Amino acid sequence: MSVMVPFNPVEPFLRSERMPHIWCSGCGIGTTVNCFARALAESKLPLDKVAIVSGIGCTGRVAGYLNLDSFHTTHGRAIPFATGLKLANPELTVVVYSGDGDLIAIGGNHFIHAARRNVDIKVICINNFIYGMTGGQVAPTTPVGATATTAPYGCFERPFNLPYLAESSGAVYVARWTAYHVRYIAHSMAEALRKKGFSFIEILAPCPTLYQRRNKLGDGLETMRYYKQHSVIRHGANTRDLNLDFQGEITLGKFVDIERPTLQQTMGQRFRQVLRERYAG
Amino acid sequence: MSSPRRSAVLSGAHFMDGNHAACEGAIAAGANFAAGYPITPSTEIVERFASRAPLVGATFLQMEDELASSIAILGAAWGGAKAFTVTSGPGFSLMMEHIGFAAMTETPCVFVNVQRGGPSTGLPTLPAQADMMQARWGSHGDYEIIALCPNSPQECFNLMIDAFNFSEQYRNPVLLMMDESVGHMTEKVVIPPADQIDIIPRRYTSKAPSEYLPFKPASDDVPEMARVGEGYHFHVTGLTHDEHGYPSMEWQTQEALVGRLVGKIRAHADDLTRTEEKQLEDAEIVLVAYGISSRVALWALQKAREEGLRVGLLRPIVVWPFPEKRIRELAQRVKAFVVVELNYGQMVREVERAAAGRARTILVPHAGGAVHPPESIVKVLREVGS
């Protein structure tokens, strides 16, 4: 007797020998990795020329599972590592894949500066509103009122509105989805992979073990229902209006898709203009 | 060995300060990427590099802080560049995590610290040598470091090339530990013709991706690197990792990895040791000094010799690994070591450890902000010699 194993189109993009992965059941990160693999396939980019950089945390482990040149860097510093990698090797497509705490708290300064410079990297932020790896501490994305191990009486700090932060810092592509909206995610990722410049995709994802359970929001499936029922897609919405309230309505879509010269383009233009034939670039 | 691009090397005799010379050393070594954040008294190095980079096919980026610049160079190194960053005390503190990350991931790179008075903001424009132990131990965990201490602008140029070569040979971060005085001292600097500069190229593998293990060491304990973007699909992590580069939380993996990271430098400590020695043949007292302090100590040596004291000088040029074997040898026959450094006792601990009680070890401390008054050293030499 033989068992037919259907071909999994995502498998060539993964390091199968590293499975099983570390993520909890119901976690949204793996779902987004599936979307990313499909986006890579759709983009038709040569995989040898795609590099992935992660920081630290649950999402920081993404780099290790993808069958690409991959870099698992230090906490908060995936973006400046990616900046150096891209500048040194411009033919690479460089993707930063990390979590909200990594990219926006400890790495927040690098996030705004890379967007300002328009470094040609694609930043995917899995936002689960919490520090998962360390056990459920409050993050700069935790909605007001949600509890965390270090906000036991509920979060009282206003969270960042990430699309607004990205756009106002200079990102040329900004989108937000939830882990429920897998086809939109894959499509958005494929668009970002083709886009020149600092591209940012926020993906809301459940952390059933720490965020949902502590806040009595059910399991991963329950969160998918919430995403489905409370999300509204408004492409082109003003990013000022994208604040996230605890269990409130979620606005999704592609908000920014503009053209602006990248860091390498402005650098080259400047040197050619000023140095002319002396420029060795 | 190879040579740098001729057009990039400013061959000839120059009158320049140590900071500018260090920058030219980097360019001569083939550095084609630098990232930095402004901090006194180191800024002239990146200012010059920012001006020279577009002319020599290199890239400079001023980053938003030292955390960013110290990892941008590591990204660039993995992207194929020869990369360095430059800082001073407070920035050096911020860079510590990435010195450890570079050691763990075996990333060739160079960090320059033009030392100033500390702790904290301290004396931004004035010299000290008080980061010497931080250079050795500043990042968490067990690792080995290579650090060099120039005492002249010429040596800033020369040692910058050595720093890059060591970083490629051992796949380890290398520190150029300058001080404000050497950085801002202007002297004659001779830059040799490009074809007389030896460059150790990156140790890229010739194996096919299917046969290549990214962290499997070659015979000298140093693994070969793969070029990014060439289909190797390698993984690099600051986590404890096996020969595949994959994370492993087993103590056996930790033992094998840390043992090798430490061992690859310790096993070559003799190859790395470099000292300058003066009048040690008949010396009873050995001055030990490095960087700017070695030049003050030399003045004290001459003065003491005039008074009939049998004094010599040992100057570690490579300070880490510490030349402990040489100190051990000398301790058999000399009376005392007198350590002159711009701090309240750092490298003196290494001298004392290596001397192991066979010779006295005396520190001439100075908190920085100026160099030692030479007389203060001579006074100690007289006391020890009497």
Give the model confidence (pLDDT) of A143-177 as tens digits: 999 999 999 999 999 999 999 999 999 999 999 99
DSSP assignment of A212-247: IHHTT---HHHHHHHHHHHEEE-TT--GGG----TT
Query: Inter-chain contact B74–A84, Cβ cutoff 8 Å?
Result: yes
Domains of chain B: 6-196 (3.40.50.970), 276-385 (3.40.50.920)
Percent of chain B with pLDDT over 70: 100
Chain A residues closer than 8 Å to B95 by CB: none
Using a CB–CB cutoff of 8 Å, tell me whether A214 touches chain B: no
Please tell me the distance in Å from B156's CA to the nearest CA on chain A: 25
Only one residue has tokens 């007292």, namely B285
Provide, as residue numbers in chain A, all residues whose Cβ is less than 8 Å from the Cβ of B97.
Answer: 74
Closest chain A CA to residue B231: A48
- A53 to chain B, closest Cα gap in Å: 9
Note if the bond before B321 is cis, omega within 30 degrees: yes
Q: Is the Cβ pair B61, A109 closer than 8 Å?
A: no
The superfamily in CATH containing domain A11-278 is Thiamin diphosphate (ThDP)-binding fold, Pyr/PP domains (3.40.50.970)
B173 neighbourhood in chain A, CB within 8 Å: none
Residue B148 scores a pLDDT above 90? yes
Buried b (16+ CB within 10 A) or exposed e, A97-111: bbbbbbbbbbbbbbb
How many C-beta atoms lie closer than 10 Å to residue A58's C-beta? 28
Neighbours of A153 (CB within 10 A): 7
What is the band of B49 on the pLDDT scale with cuts at 50, 70, 90?
very high
Q: How far is A275 from chain B (nearest CA, A)?
A: 8
For range B341-367, the mean pLDDT: 98
B63 contacts in chain A (CB < 8 Å): 80, 83, 113
What is residue B181's predicted lDDT score, i.e. its pLDDT? 98
Residue B1: band (very low, low, confident or very high) from pLDDT cuts 50, 70, 90: low
Q: Cβ–Cβ of B238/A73 closer than 8 Å?
A: yes
**Rg of the Cα atoms in chain A:** 19
Alpha-carbon distance B140 to nearest alpha carbon in chain A (angstroms): 13
| Average pLDDT, consecutive stretches of 10 residues, N- to C-terminus, chain A (281 residues) | 80 94 97 98 96 98 97 98 98 98 98 98 98 97 98 98 98 98 98 98 98 96 97 98 98 98 98 97 82
Return the residue in A54, A77, A265 with the most chain B beta carbons within 10 A, the one to mutate for interface testing.
A77
Cβ contact A70–B236 (<8 Å):
yes
| CB within 8 Å: A87 and B234 | no
Chain-chain contact of A67 with B233 (C-beta, under 8 angstroms): yes
Q: Is B77 in contact with A84 (Cβ distance < 8 A)?
A: yes
Query: How far apart, in Å, do the first and last CA atoms of chain A sit?
Result: 63
Chain B closest-CA separation from residue A243 CA (Å) = 27
Spell out the domain ranges in chain A.
11-278
For the stretch B139-169, what's the b/e string if a residue is b when 16 or more beta carbons lie within 10 angstroms of its beta carbon? Answer: beeebbbbbbbbbbbbbbbbbbbbbbbbbbb
Question: Which two three-digit tokens encode residue A201?
Answer: 């995709």
Residue B316 vs residues A9, A56, B352, B357: alpha-carbon distances, Å: 59, 39, 15, 20
CB contact under 8 A, A77 and B68: yes
Q: What is the reported pLDDT for B4?
A: 73
State the pairing for strand pair B12-17/B186-191: antiparallel
Q: At B325, phi and psi to the nearest 5?
A: -65, -40
Per-residue pLDDT reduced to its tens digit, B100-135:
999 999 999 999 999 999 999 999 999 999 999 999
Q: Is there a contact between B235 and A275 if contact means CB atoms under 8 Å apart?
A: no
Interface of B with A in 221-240 (CB under 8 A): 228-239
Residue B209 in contact with partner chain A when CB distance is under 8 A: no
Which B residues in the span 68-97 are in contact with A, Cβ-Cβ below 8 Å?
68-69, 71-81, 83, 97
Which of A85, A93, A102 to substitute to test the interface with B, most B CBs within 10 Å? A85
Contact of B246 with chain A, judged by CB distance below 8 Å, is answered with yes
- How far does B110 lie from chain A, in Å, by closest CA? 15
* Separation of alpha carbons B138 and B99, rounded Å: 8
A277 touches chain B (CB under 8 A): no
DSSP 8-class letter at B217? B
B234: helix, strand or coil = coil
Contacts of A51 in chain B (CB under 8 A): 228-229
The size of the A-B interface in CB pairs under 8 A is 143
Looking at the complex, report in whole angstroms how far the Cα of residue B200 sits from the nearest Cα belonging to chain A: 19
pLDDT at B253: 98
Q: Among B59, B64, B98, whose Cβ lies nearest the Cβ of A87?
A: B59
For chain B, give the mean pLDDT. Answer: 97
CB neighbour list of residue A209: distance below 8 Å, 6 or more residues apart? A24, A26, A27, A132, A136
Question: What pLDDT, in 10s, does the model give residues B193-227?
Answer: 999 999 999 999 999 999 999 999 988 999 999 99
- pLDDT tens sequence across B70-108: 999 999 999 999 999 999 999 999 999 999 999 999 999
| Out of B32, B54, B67, closest to residue A271 by CB | B54
- Contact yes or no for B68 and A280 at CB 8 A: no
Burial class (CB within 10 angstroms; exposed 0-12, middle 13-18, buried 19+) of B230: middle
Mutate to test the interface with B, among A14, A15, A86, A87 (most CBs of B within 10 A): A87
pLDDT at A1: 62
Q: Is A74's CB within 8 Å of B72's CB?
A: no
Helices (H), chain A: 29-43, 62-65, 78-88, 100, 108-117, 162-169, 182-194, 213-214, 220-230, 263-275
pLDDT at site B258? 98
CB-based contact A202:A216 (threshold 8 Å): no
Which of A81, A109, A280 lies nearest to residue B71, judging by beta carbons?
A81
> For testing the chain B interface, which of A72, A265, A267 should be mutated: the one with the most B CBs within 10 Å?
A72
Q: What is the dihedral of CA B217, B271, B32, A110, to 10 degrees?
A: 70
Query: How many Å separate Cα B83 from the centre of its chain?
Result: 14
Q: What's the complex ipTM?
A: 0.97
pLDDT at A2: 72
Contact assignment for A88 to B229 by CB distance below 8 Å:
no
